[in-house]
Amino acid sequence: MDLFYVLLILLVATRAFGELAERLGQPSLVGELIAGIALGALVAQYPGSFPDLVDIAHNDVFVTITDLGMFFLMLYAGVEMQPHKIVQYSGGSLVVAVGGMAVPLGLGLALGWIFLPESELRTAQCLFIGTALAITAVPATVRILMDLGQLDTPVGQTIVSAAVFDDVFSLMLLAWLTGLIAVGEPPGLVDIGILLGKILLFFAITACIGLYIFPWGGRFMHHLRAQELEISAMLVAAFAFAVLAEMLGLHFIVGAFVAGLYFGHRTIDKASYERVKRTISGMTFGFLAPIFFASIGLNLNLDALSGAPLFVVVLILAAFFGKVAGAGGAARIYGFSARESAAIGIGMSPRGAVELVIAGVALKAGLFSAAVSDAPEVRNLFSAVVIMAVVTTVVSPIILKRAFSIRGDGGKPR
Amino acid sequence: MDLFYVLLILLVATRAFGELAERLGQPSLVGELIAGIALGALVAQYPGSFPDLVDIAHNDVFVTITDLGMFFLMLYAGVEMQPHKIVQYSGGSLVVAVGGMAVPLGLGLALGWIFLPESELRTAQCLFIGTALAITAVPATVRILMDLGQLDTPVGQTIVSAAVFDDVFSLMLLAWLTGLIAVGEPPGLVDIGILLGKILLFFAITACIGLYIFPWGGRFMHHLRAQELEISAMLVAAFAFAVLAEMLGLHFIVGAFVAGLYFGHRTIDKASYERVKRTISGMTFGFLAPIFFASIGLNLNLDALSGAPLFVVVLILAAFFGKVAGAGGAARIYGFSARESAAIGIGMSPRGAVELVIAGVALKAGLFSAAVSDAPEVRNLFSAVVIMAVVTTVVSPIILKRAFSIRGDGGKPR
């Protein structure tokens, strides 16, 4: 793979399609995703003309660049968000998270039971569909809310906090699921306790470091002379939290997000904070995030559309309905207005980024292997989930924009 | 390789050693290189304790990150430098480049003739040593001059321009050399003409784009709405120039540098220019450049010190003497003061970055294979050249700092 050629093509395509999307009144993210889908289709049609782009979604180097994109996006979201607001809205977001988790999970289990044939892995497959419906792609959600100028509103903060909760729960579910596939029987209560303990440990350690070590580090930095030290310090914290998250069974994006969250006015002076934020914003939205969103589109594989079309359509409908009824319903009960609740439900619908990770883990674990079953729904389960992930990520921002502008406080102009 | 773990370790080590170097009155770069050397030694000693770091210098993903570091460093150097000053000092830098190329090349040929045994590849090996001595590592030089606050001075501009010339010439020599190894006889005059034509073509195309398309693109961008577009535009130009450079037989760093050079007040307004520069500076010096310099240290392999110690010592001495006598002598003749000339000679001595590329190409071409000769100088030629590259890069800034402070206008405090 010629790195610079690939980056050139992807950056030009995503920024051009993003601009086009803006002109059509849609968030740039929609254009970037469609750029990836279009490039993927073009390469599939004429593989000889784009040898560097063939199967690029599985190239180690390219995956690293997209991982960095996800990492910086989550770091930026953390830096941009105010921890005290997260605490302030934590009640609402916890309720929304539970609703947004339970309903899709139930729907997924039911869907699996209806569509998938009996086999020894059927329970695991049903659980996989449930997990796939329960997650929310935080990086995509963050970007959508930013594009619409809603990240810092009560609705935005509730969506992101609830989405982070849902991802943490879903990753627990995934760990439990891979245990089920590997051992053949579900992990016991002790294992679940250990899993939960590790997650609590992660948040306890990062809270101690974020609340006590970060401010001390910020003061200590004033005595140092090295250049561009604030950026390094921020990245060191984020890398460390990402490593810790992975050690304790969470995805690295949770670490990056939490590191950003604790980086604020308590840590360093306002001028340095703004400078770090601007640098991360430039690298993220000017370079890495478009490449990352294009890669989601590049992963799209339409096999399932011919193999199991009904299943795909039902899965996509369940994806939207599950979050709107689950998260939106919970928000309505908690006291949000009907329109805010609808926005919260739609805002939690994108499955783009994290879904691909979860589906990849399940694929490696052998959940969709032909040896298990020859039914088209099983053979095409991976492709179906990826289609669902891409469709929800492209469609949600389009609906969400409408929901916000009906509310009358539409996207802030940039 | 666990990406975030590796980045964490390297960023902490380089920034800590860099700070230590500053405290000892040396440029941070020296600390970052030594951090890489120390980590390499530690991993070689206890490979079991650092499984992720073993042989990391040859890991595709890690090499990509360091390539991005080199790319951003050169891009920043281009953005920081003023094209009209380069033109203004072009007479001096051309003279310095020719001197700084001819003397080391001659010395390298002589060294090869003295030390290497007769074989069919001897001519190619002698030429390789000559090329290895003739290059100057522009990314390392840029960073040293920045650390010393001398990038924008007449001496600094002369060094960087001359270094770029020398690298372009050396890459031509390398292309010629690989032709010699592959075909067994030196390419004819026609091939050299084609090589030269391609290089001229590169500079002609980039000049047309830089002088006419860039300003038009800068005005066009005002009509667009996408976020962080200036960064994307700068990167698209740099990626495109890097791809063009590689297509025409040059190294991608030349493309990145030239793209940065044309990006200035003629292209976009001052505020956008400063914002882009700050973002690239943050990413480069706060993240990618330290990782890149550590990787130079990580490449160090001391085999040659035991296998052919005399050869290594003579090679290192020739590396310094060649540039001081060649580039420094030419500068003195051109009219620089004795101290300025010494600074120019030392400033052109680091071989760090580009050397590793050239040695890698020669290694792949089979120039050092045991089948060619069993003499310790041949078997250890690769290791010897890498040692020379690392030593010149670590020592040059230390001497240079002294040279500048004797001149009385020492490093600007940051």
- The three state secondary structure string of B206-264 is HHHHHHHHHHHHHHHHCCCCCCCHHHHHHHHHHHHHHHHHHHCCCCHHHHHHHHHHHCC
Q: Please give the Cα distance from B174 to B250 (Å, whole number).
A: 10
Give the pLDDT of residue A362: 80
Of A60, A228, A242, Cβ closest to residue B61? A60
| Cβ-based contacts of B227 with chain A (< 8 Å) | 28, 285-286, 414
User: DSSP labels for A347-374?
Assistant: HT---HHHHHHHHHHHHHTTTT-TTT--
Q: Please give the Cα distance from A154 to A149 (Å, whole number).
A: 12
For residue B46, give the DSSP letter.
Answer: -
- With bands split at pLDDT 50, 70 and 90, how would you rate the model's confidence at A324? very high
Domain count, chain B: 1
Question: Distance, in angstroms, between A349 CA and closest chain B CA?
Answer: 24
For residue A58, give the DSSP letter.
Answer: G
Structural domain contains residue B343:
yes
pLDDT, greater one: A310 or A178:
A310
Structural domain contains residue A414:
no
Mean predicted lDDT score pLDDT of chain B: 86
Mean predicted lDDT score pLDDT of chain A: 86
Q: A2 and B286 in contact by Cβ < 8 A?
A: no
Chain A, nearest residue to B72 by Cα: A283
Give the pLDDT of residue B286: 93
- Mean pLDDT in residue range A93-109: 94
User: DSSP labels for B137-153?
Assistant: -HHHHHHHHHHTT-TTS
Structural domain contains residue A286:
yes
Most confident of A97-101, A304-308, B75-79: A97-101
Give the pLDDT of residue A410: 39
| Cβ-based contacts of A3 with chain B (< 8 Å) | 64, 67-68
pLDDT, greater one: A180 or A170:
A170
Chain A, nearest residue to B16 by Cα: A226
Looking up residue A273, the CATH number of its domain turns out to be 1.20.1530.20
Over its C-alpha atoms, chain A yields an Rg (Å, rounded) of 21
Alpha helices (H) in A284-380, listed in sequence order: 289-298, 303-307, 309-323, 329-334, 338-347, 352-364, 376-379
User: DSSP labels for A170-219?
Assistant: HHHHHHHHHHHHHHSS---HHHHHHHHHHHHHHHHHHHHIIIIIHHHHHH
Q: Please give the Cα distance from A249 to A173 (Å, whole number).
A: 11
Angle between helices A309-323 and A122-134 (to 10 degrees): 50
| Cβ-based contacts of A67 with chain B (< 8 Å) | 3
Whether A97 shows a pLDDT value over 60: the answer reads: yes
Q: A4 and B61 in contact by Cβ < 8 A?
A: no
Q: Please give the Cα distance from A228 to A236 (Å, whole number).
A: 13
Q: Please give the Cα distance from A339 to A399 (Å, whole number).
A: 12
Give the pLDDT of residue B184: 66
Q: A11 and B235 in contact by Cβ < 8 A?
A: yes
Give me the residue label for tokens 């084609």. Answer: B194
Encode pLDDT of A217-231 as tens digits.
Answer: 888 887 887 778 889
- With bands split at pLDDT 50, 70 and 90, how would you rate the model's confidence at B371? low
| Cβ-based contacts of A287 with chain B (< 8 Å) | 231-232, 235
Q: Which of B305, B348, B325 is nearest to B41 (CA)?
A: B305
**Which of A114-123, A363-372, A391-400, B113-122 has the lowest average pLDDT?**
A363-372
- Mean pLDDT in residue range B8-27: 91
- Mean pLDDT in residue range B23-38: 88
Please report the beta strands in B75-139, taking only residues with DSSP state E, as ranges in sequence order.
none
Structural domain contains residue A38:
no
Q: Which of B188, B169, B191, B184 is nearest to B124 (CA)?
A: B184
Of A224, A246, A252, Cβ closest to residue B19? A224
**Residue B201, Cβ neighbours under 10 Å: how many?**
13
For residue B368, give the DSSP letter.
Answer: T
Chain A, nearest residue to B12 by Cα: A236
Chain A, nearest residue to B413 by Cα: A225
Domain range for A240: 54-407
pLDDT over 70 percentage in chain A: 96
Q: A282 and B279 in contact by Cβ < 8 A?
A: yes
- With bands split at pLDDT 50, 70 and 90, how would you rate the model's confidence at B413? very low
Residues sharing a CB contact under 8 Å with residue B155, sequence separation 6 or more, in sequence order: B336, B340, B343, B344, B347
pLDDT over 70 percentage in chain B: 96
| Cβ-based contacts of B23 with chain A (< 8 Å) | 225
Whether B408 shows a pLDDT value over 50: the answer reads: no
- Mean pLDDT in residue range B258-262: 90
- Mean pLDDT in residue range B232-249: 93
Whether A346 shows a pLDDT value over 90: the answer reads: yes
Encode pLDDT of A384-404 as tens digits.
Answer: 998 999 999 999 999 988 888
Question: Distance, in angstroms, between B60 CA and closest chain A CA?
Answer: 7
Of A65, A239, A414, Cβ closest to residue B8? A239
Q: Please give the Cα distance from A165 to A187 (Å, whole number).
A: 22
Chain A, nearest residue to B25 by Cα: A225
Encode pLDDT of B305-320 as tens digits.
Answer: 888 899 999 999 999 9
Structural domain contains residue B414:
no
- Mean pLDDT in residue range A126-132: 91
CA distances from A309 to A217, A303, A312, A370, A376 (A): 55, 9, 5, 19, 10
Are the CB atoms for B3 and A67 separated by under 8 Å? Answer: yes
Q: A225 and B290 in contact by Cβ < 8 A?
A: no
For residue B289, give the DSSP letter.
Answer: H
What size, in residues, is chain B? 414
pLDDT over 90 percentage in chain A: 39
Give me the residue label for tokens 């359509």. Answer: A313
Chain B, nearest residue to A221 by Cα: B19
- Mean pLDDT in residue range B69-86: 84
Give me the residue label for tokens 């600007």. Answer: B412
Structural domain contains residue A23:
no
Interface test with A, best of B1, B3, B4 (most A CBs within 10 A): B4
Structural domain contains residue B413:
no
pLDDT, greater one: A10 or B143:
A10
SS3 B40: helix
| Cβ-based contacts of A283 with chain B (< 8 Å) | 231, 279, 282-283
pLDDT, greater one: B250 or B325:
B325
Q: What is the CB-side half-sphere exposure of residue B130 using CA atoms within 13 A? A: 24
What size, in residues, is chain A? 414
Chain B, nearest residue to A61 by Cα: B61
**Residue A87, Cβ neighbours under 10 Å: how many?**
10
Encode pLDDT of B164-217 as tens digits.
Answer: 888 888 877 887 777 777 766 666 788 778 888 888 999 999 999 998 988 888
**Which of A228-237, A239-248, B160-169, B360-369 has the lowest average pLDDT?**
B360-369
Most confident of A21-30, B84-93, B220-229, B383-392: B383-392
Encode pLDDT of A159-171 as tens digits.
Answer: 988 988 888 888 7
Give the pLDDT of residue A406: 60
- Mean pLDDT in residue range A271-297: 91
Give the pLDDT of residue B412: 40
Give the pLDDT of residue A302: 82
Of A3, A235, A242, Cβ closest to residue B286? A235
Interface test with B, best of A5, A6, A8, A17 (most B CBs within 10 A): A8
Q: B11 and A232 in contact by Cβ < 8 A?
A: yes
Q: Please give the Cα distance from A324 to A244 (Å, whole number).
A: 33
Give the pLDDT of residue A172: 79
